[in-house]
Structures are given as structure tokens and as C-alpha cells.
């Protein structure tokens, strides 16, 4: 029997795809029924970790893993390049007016915005929070311990250019 040209979909492709689809739905559904951290079907978004006030390390850490949250580093860019929280974007408080338009779409689509700077004595995060709130961005929370608290807790760091 001649095998069809490899670039053309064949009946065998369809059978394998069907088997994979049925198998993955069955296994996935069953696993989801028995696991404690099951995903609701239909999906219901998780409630925001926090919508006001300051963030604890655990809350901030959870937001760094949340695809609907935006983490902003308010320190001057040089410090961001030396090391920052994974996934954080650099928005130095001193550059806010010039940089804000670049962040507008991301800020509008984020469910929660978490801001940090160097340490508890640093004012940049609070000022950035004020700027963002004044521009109508909702759910902006500060992680007050900043980079010092994060790195002191031996959390992962990332180095990248702005």
C-alpha cells in the first residue's frame, strides 16, 4: 500500500488526533475531578490576591506567578538591570511621565498591579502608586519590603535589559 505524501493530512492523522483528543479530555477531566487544586469548568477567574493595602511576601510572590497581574519595578533603570523580580517590568518613578504611554495598554488589561522599589525606606513605589492611581489605574498595591525583602528571602532573580 502506498503511503500518502507526508505533507498531506491522511486518515491516519485524523485517527491519531481523535485518539489524543479523547484520551487527553478523559484523563484531564478525571485528574481534575480528584485533585485539590482543580480548575472550575466553566472557568471562574481567581479573586485578586489583594486590591488595596500593602502586599506581604507571599501575596507578592503569588502575583509574580499570576498572568493577569503586572509587576512594576519603580527603581532607577540601572538597579533593574542588575537584578529584578522575574517578570517585572521597569517603570522608574522618575521616568513616569515619559514612560507611562508605553505601559498604558498593559496597565489597563492587568487585574492587579504590584509595585516595588529598593527597601522599606524607599519612596519610589509609593509615588509610582500615586501616579498610577491618579491616571485611573485600579488595584495598585505596594510590596513595601521591595528588592531587599525579595532577595533577602532568597527568591529567584532575573537580569535583563530594560
Whole-Å CA distances, 109 to 81, 84, 103, 137, 144 = 25, 22, 10, 10, 24
Q: Which of 51, 58, 68, 81 binds other proteins (CB under 8 A)?
A: 68
Q: Which of 87, 119, 127, 151 binds other proteins (CB under 8 A)?
A: 87
Q: Which of 47, 50, 66, 119 binds other proteins (CB under 8 A)?
A: 66
Using the rule CB under 8 A, is 136 a contact of other proteins? no
Using the rule CB under 8 A, is 135 a contact of other proteins? no
Using the rule CB under 8 A, is 3 a contact of other proteins? yes
Q: Which of 65, 98, 134, 154 binds other proteins (CB under 8 A)?
A: 65
Name the segment binding other proteins (CB under 8 A); options: 42-50, 90-98, 118-126, 136-144: 42-50
Whole-Å CA distances, 33 to 22, 41, 103, 156 = 17, 10, 39, 32
Q: Which residue from 135, 150, 148, 132 is spatially nearest to 63, judged by alpha carbons?
A: 150
DSSP code string of 54-108: BPPHHHHHHHHT-TTEEEEE-S-HHHHHH-B-TT-EE--GGGHHHHHHHHHHHHH
Task: Choose between 82 and 123: whose C-beta lies nearer to other proteins.
Answer: 82
Q: How many C-beta atoms surround the C-beta of residue 74 within 10 A?
A: 29
Task: Choose between 110 and 118: whose C-beta lies nearer to other proteins.
Answer: 110
- Residues of the shown chain interacting with other proteins in the complex, contacts defined by CB under 8 A: 3, 6-7, 9-10, 12-13, 16-17, 20-21, 23-25, 27-29, 31-32, 35, 37-46, 64-68, 70, 86-87, 105-106, 109-110, 156
Amino acid at each position: 500500500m502506498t503511503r500518502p505524501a507526508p505533507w498531506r493530512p491522511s486518515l491516519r492523522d485524523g485517527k491519531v488526533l481523535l485518539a489524543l483528543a479523547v484520551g487527553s479530555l478523559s484523563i484531564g477531566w478525571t485528574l481534575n475531578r480528584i485533585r485539590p487544586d482543580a480548575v472550575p469548568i466553566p472557568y471562574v477567574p481567581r479573586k485578586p490576591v489583594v486590591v488595596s493595602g500593602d502586599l506581604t511576601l507571599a501575596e507578592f510572590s503569588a502575583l509574580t506567578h499570576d498572568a493577569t497581574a503586572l509587576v512594576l519595578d519603580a527603581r532607577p533603570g540601572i538597579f533593574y538591570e542588575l537584578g529584578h523580580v522575574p517578570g517585572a517590568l521597569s517603570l522608574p518613578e522618575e521616568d513616569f511621565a515619559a514612560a507611562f504611554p508605553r505601559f498604558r495598554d498593559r496597565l489597563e488589561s492587568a487585574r492587579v498591579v504590584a509595585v516595588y522599589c529598593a527597601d522599606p525606606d524607599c519612596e519610589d513605589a509609593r509615588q509610582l502608586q500615586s501616579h498610577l492611581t491618579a491616571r485611573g489605574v485600579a488595584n495598585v498595591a505596594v510590596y513595601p519590603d521591595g528588592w531587599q525583602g525579595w532577595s533577602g528571602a532568597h527568591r529567584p532573580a532575573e537580569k535583563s535589559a530594560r
